[in-house]
Amino acid sequence: MHLAMDRHTLVEVVKDTAPMQVGGFVYPFHEMSTPRAELEKKLGYQKDIKPAVQEARRLMKEAGYGQGIKGLDFVVRDANTFKLWAVAIQAMLKEHLNIECNLRVVQISQWFDEVGGGNFDLGISAIVSSLMDPSDYFSAWYGKDGPQNYSYWTNPGFHDLANQIERELDDNRRKTMVRKAEDILEQDPPLIPVSYEQIYDAWYNKVKGQNPSTYFGIYDVVRWDQVWLA
């Protein structure tokens, strides 16, 4: 399923609702990130999706699902972006892999109850982190028993590497380790990345005290105790 996503099309699907950019298992806008040009050479991220779909079909057949899968419960968080994506993903899975999904749109609180309780085959929502550094979200998203590891994914090799990344002080060695961890995630996906939201900030010059270069995500712009008007 990870390989069968046409991510460039999925970015286009929601462009009038929310600006997005293609990304994988590592934040696409951080010094530890795989450069976009390099990422888009990988299967699953190329603009020409034919090679990725061909490999996805081979893997499905190898796993005994060459004829596809029917009746998957696809739990969708009730928000415009997720509902638009869900319809597009439903069509992609059917066209590329003959996987048939039944969409079930639920309110946000119900989504977390359903997914947290394992009452789903597929689910689509957002995941968040406190920091952009992999040491934070590698644990939250992919760690064993991580709070946003909704698939209950475990991979001892990845978890060992993530522990090393947390303790390594040399930036170059850390970056090499992050790339190795990313390779593990690509081969054994704990989730299916769709894209990452691009947040654009605007303000008048008379507003002083802001430092947008340090912002990370939409929740870093809600404190105004150090801001004033000139």
Q: Assign residue 115 the CATH number of its domain.
A: 3.10.105.10
pLDDT value of residue 219: 67
- Burial string for 200-217 (b: 16+ CB within 10 Å, else e) reads eeeeeeeeeeeeeeeeee
Contact between 22 and 40 (Cβ < 8 Å): yes
pLDDT value of residue 220: 67
**Token pair for residue 135?**
């040491």
What gap in Å lies between CA 101 and CA 92, rounded to an integer? Answer: 11
pLDDT at 9 over 80: yes
Question: Does the global pTM surpass 0.85?
Answer: yes
Q: Is residue 216 part of a domain?
A: no
Q: Is residue 223 part of a domain?
A: no
CA angle 136, 18, 153 (to 5 degrees): 35
Mean of pLDDT values over 5-9: 97
* Mean pLDDT taken over the chain: 93
Give the Cβ contact number of residue 93 at 10 Å. Answer: 22
What gap in Å lies between CA 217 and CA 220, rounded to an integer? Answer: 6
pLDDT at 221 over 80: no
Query: For residue 217, what pLDDT band results from cuts at 50, 70 and 90?
Result: low
In this predicted model, what pLDDT tens digit does every residue of 124-168 receive, in sequence order? Answer: 999 988 888 999 999 999 999 999 999 999 999 999 999 999 999
Q: What percent of the chain has pLDDT over 70?
A: 98
Pairing of strands 69-77, 122-124: parallel
Give the Cβ contact number of residue 6 at 10 Å. Answer: 22
**Token pair for residue 2?**
């990870």
Distances (CA, A) of 217 to 79, 93, 137: 18, 30, 14
Domain of 12 in residue numbering reads as 7-198
Q: Is residue 175 part of a domain?
A: yes
Q: Is residue 209 part of a domain?
A: no
Query: For residue 211, what pLDDT band results from cuts at 50, 70 and 90?
Result: confident
> 29-38, 83-92, 106-115: which has the minimum mean pLDDT?
29-38
Mean of pLDDT values over 87-104: 98
Number of domains making up the chain:
1
For 186, list phi and psi in degrees, rounded to 5: -65, -35
Q: Is residue 229 part of a domain?
A: no
Residues facing residue 159 across a β-bridge:
none
The candidate with the shortest Cα–Cα distance to 4, out of 141, 120, 98, 102, is 98
Q: Is residue 2 part of a domain?
A: no
Cβ within 8 Å of residue 186, ≥6 positions away = 2, 24, 25, 42, 44
Q: Is residue 218 part of a domain?
A: no
In this predicted model, what pLDDT tens digit does every residue of 162-195 receive, in sequence order? Answer: 999 999 999 999 999 999 999 999 999 999 999 9
pLDDT value of residue 212: 75
pLDDT at 10 over 90: yes
Q: Is residue 75 part of a domain?
A: yes
The amino acid that residue 73 corresponds to is D
pLDDT value of residue 226: 83
Mean of pLDDT values over 203-212: 84
pLDDT at 24 over 80: yes
For the sheet with 99-106, list strands across it.
Answer: 99-106, 69-77, 122-124
